[in-house]
């Protein structure tokens, strides 16, 4: 009996001593692995792992959310987890993608209780996000937390396909949750209309537009007979168009028929007006953005860190100034056209200025249409963006035609200089009376 009782106590003692070991083993098996990009005592400061002692932030601790019936709920859940240091190694058909989660951004990051990183992003097909692309609109702030998944889409990344950490963006003074994830390469076909318009047609049209503008600029810089009359820089801004319109209007309004068309002092006056006005308005827009803008918009957050951009206040200063120049130019067009109709006799200067007025009207209509198209494209409708892409190309081609190929004086100079654009007309057949031009140019 004594031996039986001794054996029983020994067995109970052995089982009791092994119970904590079994519990500890079971606890380790339930640990959740969470990948951290930097070391335990480091944070990500401007894409660089920096020790905590050099920052004013606390150590990053992952916050977990619970998923109930395939819907994530924010609850105070602290499962057993362990941090694994290191960045993900993406496969050959994957690429690394940086995501930043901050208050005013369109991206959200959350870690589920099983260690999976969930990335929420804006679903543009949802009606509640129709204003998400407007500067300063915080789409996530107006959405109930319980209904967030109904107005967004999400992607899950298991352990090994991501790493997360706290990120400090010193330039924009933001503290965000950062994640580097491995996303599969998306094969986009050329049949996709959106991809075709924004990645093929739009760059091609921009290249053609740049070439057209360069041709106009080079021609008007090379020939001194052109840049003294037509003003090279009128193609650069609406202020030059406004100065050009005032010049034509004042010529028809004046009673002095011996006006000098190539007066250098007038060019200096107009140039001072244009550049001073441009610098003043640009400075006003920048000042309004940094001092008066209450809700400075932040863009980015996917391919690059979020950064501050100009808001609606600064944009309204620039666009309103252009609108005023368009109204003034319209007054110049109407009053000059009325003056030409009432003129019974034309002098040589007035005869030549009729063609300047015609070019001014064409430039005014073309540039105003391009400005209106740019204004409408900011409404974030794809149809308007596509129209602006096409109108941008047409504007460059029309300006090239109006300033170069539509001017007999320019084609005459081109034909005599580089033996191209020869229309077969002699000097006497030109409408501008360019006999003196041909003599002065040595033709």
* CA 260/CA 266 separation, integer angstroms: 10
Sign for the pseudo-dihedral over CA of 148, 153, 158, 164: negative
Give the count of domains, the chain: 2
Residue 180 lies in a domain: yes
Residue 391 lies in a domain: yes
* CA 177/CA 110 separation, integer angstroms: 9
Residues 108 and 210 in one domain: no
Residues 263 and 329 in one domain: yes
Residues 239 and 347 in one domain: yes
Residues 170 and 216 in one domain: no
Please state the pTM of the whole predicted model.
0.52
Residue 143 lies in a domain: no
Residue 380 lies in a domain: yes
Residues 226 and 99 in one domain: no
For every residue of 405-441, which 3-state class applies, written as one string? HCCHHHHHHHHHHHCCCCCCCCHHHCCCCCHHHHHHC
**Element holding 174 (H helix, E strand):** strand 174-184
Question: How is the chain split among helix, strand and coil, in percent rounded to 5?
Answer: 50, 20, 30
Altogether, the residues listed in the chain come to a count of 443
Residue 330 lies in a domain: yes
Residues 180 and 209 in one domain: no
Q: Is the distance from CB of 251 to CB of 353 less than 8 angstroms?
A: yes
In CATH, what number is assigned to the domain containing residue 80? 2.170.180
Q: How far apart are the first and last CA of the chain?
A: 136
Q: Is the distance from CB of 237 to CB of 278 less than 8 angstroms?
A: yes
The pLDDT of residue 432 is: 45
Query: Residue 327 burial (CB < 10 Å; 0-12/13-18/19+)?
Result: exposed
The pLDDT of residue 234 is: 39
The pLDDT of residue 344 is: 67
Residue 134 lies in a domain: no
Residues 160 and 233 in one domain: no
Pairing of strands 162-169, 42-45: parallel
Residue 403 lies in a domain: yes
Name the residue range of residue 349's domain. Answer: 205-294+307-417
Q: Is the distance from CB of 76 to CB of 48 less than 8 angstroms?
A: no
* CA 327/CA 260 separation, integer angstroms: 28
Segments of the chain scoring below 70 in pLDDT = 1-29, 67-76, 123-151, 188-189, 220-240, 252-264, 267, 298-309, 344-351, 417-443
The pLDDT of residue 168 is: 87
Taking alpha carbons only, the member of 65, 64, 142, 134 closest to residue 103 is: 142
The pLDDT of residue 11 is: 53
Q: Is the distance from CB of 299 to CB of 105 less than 8 angstroms?
A: no
Residue 141 lies in a domain: no
Residues 154 and 210 in one domain: no
């Amino acid at each position: 009996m004594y031996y039986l009782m001794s054996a029983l106590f020994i067995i109970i003692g052995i089982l009791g001593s092994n119970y904590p070991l079994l519990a500890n083993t079971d606890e380790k098996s339930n640990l959740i692995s969470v990948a951290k990009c930097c070391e335990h005592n480091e944070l990500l400061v401007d894409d660089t792992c920096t020790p905590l002692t050099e920052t004013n932030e606390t150590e990053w601790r992952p916050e977990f959310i619970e998923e109930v019936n395939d819907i994530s709920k924010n609850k105070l859940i602290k499962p057993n987890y362990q941090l694994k240091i290191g960045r993900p190694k993406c496969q050959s058909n994957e690429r690394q993608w940086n995501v930043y989660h901050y208050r005013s951004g369109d991206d959200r990051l959350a870690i589920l209780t099983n260690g999976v990183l969930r990335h929420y992003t804006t679903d543009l097909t949802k009606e509640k996000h129709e204003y998400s692309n407007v500067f300063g609109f915080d789409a996530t702030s107006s959405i109930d937390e319980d209904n967030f998944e109904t107005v967004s889409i999400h992607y899950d990344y298991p352990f090994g396909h991501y790493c997360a950490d706290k990120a400090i963006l010193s330039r924009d003074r933001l503290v965000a949750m950062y994640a580097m994830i491995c996303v599969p390469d998306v094969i986009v076909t050329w049949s996709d209309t959106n991809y075709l318009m924004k990645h093929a047609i739009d760059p091609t049209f921009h290249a053609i537009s740049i070439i057209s503008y360069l041709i106009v600029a080079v021609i008007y810089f090379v020939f001194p007979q052109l840049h003294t009359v037509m003003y090279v820089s009128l193609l650069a801004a609406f202020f030059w168009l406004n100065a050009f319109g005032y010049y034509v209007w004042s010529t028809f309004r004046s009673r002095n028929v011996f006006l000098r068309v190539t007066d250098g002092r007038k060019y200096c006056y107009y140039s001072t007006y244009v550049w001073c006005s441009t610098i003043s308005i640009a400075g006003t827009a920048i000042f309004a953005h940094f001092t008066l803008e209450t809700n400075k918009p932040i863009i980015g957050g996917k391919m690059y860190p979020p950064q501050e951009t100009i808001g609606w206040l600064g944009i309204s200063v620039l666009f309103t100034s252009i609108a005023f120049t368009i109204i003034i130019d319209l007054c110049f067009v109407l009053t000059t056209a009325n003056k030409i109709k009432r003129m019974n006799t034309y002098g040589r200067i007035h005869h030549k200025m009729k063609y300047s007025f015609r070019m001014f009207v064409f430039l005014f209509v073309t540039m105003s249409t391009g400005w209106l198209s740019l204004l409408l494209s900011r409404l974030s409708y794809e149809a308007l963006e596509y129209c602006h892409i096409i109108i941008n190309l047409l504007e460059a081609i029309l300006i090239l035609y109006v300033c170069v190929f539509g001017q007999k004086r320019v084609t005459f100079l081109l034909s005599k200089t580089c033996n191209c654009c020869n229309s077969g007309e002699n000097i006497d057949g030109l409408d501008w009376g360019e006999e003196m031009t041909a003599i002065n140019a040595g033709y």
